[in-house]
Amino acid sequence: MRVRVHQHVNPLSPYYRFVPKQIEIEEVFANPDLPLLLDIGSARGRFLLKMAEVEPQWNFLGVEIREPLVVEANRLAKEKNLTNLHYEFCNASFALDELLANLPANLLQTVTIQFPDPWYKRKHAKRRMVTGDLVETIVKHLKVAGKVFIQTDVDFLAEEMFVVFRENANLSEIEITEKFFPVKTERENAVEEKGLPVYRRIFEKSNG
Ligand SMILES: C[S@@+](CC[C@H](N)C(=O)[O-])C[C@H]1O[C@@H](n2cnc3c(N)ncnc32)[C@H](O)[C@@H]1O
């Protein structure tokens, strides 16, 4: 059964301005020493569910603002006995730093932001996920040489996001030379089936 949820929620509403308990990775992963991939805006979590199956030597953490999707995704991970997969209910724009506060250094190797909600109208622009503050939080927790993979099908949002990432002095844009992941997200599949373009970039943490 597919869990029914609101299509979008407003990350600025007081309800979503909460600070989650910081994640204790030894409690959520069987082997907490594995390299970690964080997917921000994991939605129903299907991308990570498949990634966790094909890449058992990695841990996968999904962060999502719509709580029912998180509950259902964790249920599916448990049903499949995937001990390298976990999802957290968190407003990444508001409290990602607090969620990751206890993360051991040099563990976070990859971060993905895939097809974030564009919030098309100018009056809703403040609800968009990628801001300088979010990028700073990502850089703070990412290990050196760790990578951030971003993709969207919305051209103006792509440019807006890429600029914010380029403005961070600790990140360098690197060329995408090959298919980055063996798995596509739900939104990626839907966009590609329609033959629409996808804009992708990878940034690498160079220092700091
Ligand atoms: C268009 S969906 C894309 C889902 C998935 N990444 C994919 O590519 O299929 C964007 C997701 O980001 C989530 N999201 C939006 N703002 C968020 C925020 N501030 N913190 C966490 N998740 C957020 C939305 O609830 C939604 O599930």
Q: What is the pLDDT of residues 153-207, one digit of tens each?
A: 999 999 999 999 999 999 999 988 778 899 999 999 999 999 999 999 999 999 7
For residue 193, the CA-to-ligand 1 centroid distance in Å is: 20
Angle at 47 between CA 69 and CA 18, to 5 degrees: 40
Cα–Cα distance between 197 and 170 in angstroms, integer?
29
User: What global pTM score does this model have?
Assistant: 0.97
Residue 117 known to be catalytic: yes
CB atoms within 10 A of CB 89: 18
* Chain mean pLDDT for the chain: 96
Q: How high is the pLDDT of residue 8?
A: 87
Residues comprising the chain, all counted: 208
The DSSP secondary-structure symbol of 84 reads T
List all residues whose CB is within 6 A of at least one atom of ligand 1: 11, 41, 43, 63-66, 91-93, 114-117, 129, 185-188
> Does residue 154 contact residue 117 with C-beta atoms inside 8 Å?
no
Q: How high is the pLDDT of residue 26?
A: 97
> Does residue 68 contact residue 5 with C-beta atoms inside 8 Å?
yes
Annotated active-site residue in 33, 39, 97, 117: 117
For residue 7, the CA-to-ligand 1 centroid distance in Å is: 10
User: Residue 208: which pLDDT band, with cuts at 50, 70 and 90?
Assistant: low
